Amino acid sequence: MNKVIKRIWMIDDSSTDMYLQEELMRRRNIGTSFSHFISAEKVIELLNILAEREEQELPDLILLDIHMPRVDGFGFLEAYSKAVDSFKKHPVLVVISSTIMSSDIQKMKNHPLVSGVLKKPLEVDQLRAILEA
């Protein structure tokens, strides 16, 4: 793996999906520290706080679901895009979703901050290929 991935933030309204994804990644030695967020709003608040700090504790990887209540993956990306210049390092951002809407998938693939788009359930080999690119 080209980039060392230790800290992972998972943003998904399904705690079951996050648990399963974490287990799969742990078994394949991706990540050592996992933070679960069921609300994109909470992560946006955290990013705004971190943007103001000298010491920024950002993850190496963000796994983002598309369809979530209140603030979805698109809303998160909009807020993240505004804050990204404030950060010293930039996490790899991978969208993982069960959506079948090709327009949503294409929109995510075309976003400049998204490194890759995966379908649920997570296939670790596909994630590893994105991380090695």
Which of 11-15, 46-50, 101-105: highest mean pLDDT? 11-15
Report the distance separating Cα 11 and Cα 33, nearest Å: 14
Report the distance separating Cα 51 and Cα 110, nearest Å: 25
Domains and CATH numbers, the chain: 7-132 (3.40.50.2300)
What pairs with residue 102 in β-bridges? Answer: none
What pairs with residue 64 in β-bridges? Answer: 11, 95
Provide the CB-side half-sphere exposure for 118 (13 A, CA): 20
Placement of tokens 């504790």 in the chain: 57
> From the centroid of its chain, how far is CA 100?
19
Angle made by CA atoms 43, 65, 124, in degrees to the nearest 5: 110
Tell me the per-residue pLDDT of 78-124, one tens digit each, with 9 for 90 and over. 999 999 999 988 999 999 999 888 999 999 999 999 999 999 999 99
Q: How far apart are the first and last CA of the chain?
A: 9
**pTM here?**
0.94
Strands (E), the chain: 7-11, 33-37, 61-64, 92-97, 116-119
Inter-axis angle of helices 73-83 and 102-110, to 10 degrees?
Answer: 10
Quote the pLDDT of residue 2.
Answer: 59
Residue 63 pLDDT class (50, 70, 90 cuts): very high
